[in-house]
Amino acid sequence: MSCTEAAPCPNMAKSTLSNHFRILRQAGLVLTAKKGVEHRNLIRLDDVEARFPGLLKMILGFCEAEMAV
């Protein structure tokens, strides 16, 4: 996902978002892959699930419930 797709608010500085992704990368929760000129941040699903069982399902369930309202 690109910075603009991941930003929780459209006014967030790209440098702020890049710093958050750096921290997530260092924690082993995301993997950054270069695709053309973009850097794509991919969730390391197996690693996240091993460290935090059920967390992603809970977050996605919450997001789906919010969208339904």
Residue range 37-59, pLDDT digits in tens: 888 888 999 999 999 999 988 88
**Using only C-alpha atoms, what is the Rg of the chain?**
13
d(CA 8, CA 33): 21
Is residue 9 scored above 70 in pLDDT? Answer: no
Q: How far apart are CA 58 and CA 66, in angstroms?
A: 12
Number of structural domains in the chain: 1
Question: What was the pLDDT predicted at 53?
Answer: 95
Q: What is the pLDDT of residue 2?
A: 52
Average pLDDT, the chain: 82
Give the range of the structural domain holding residue 25, as residue numbers without chain letter. Answer: 3-68
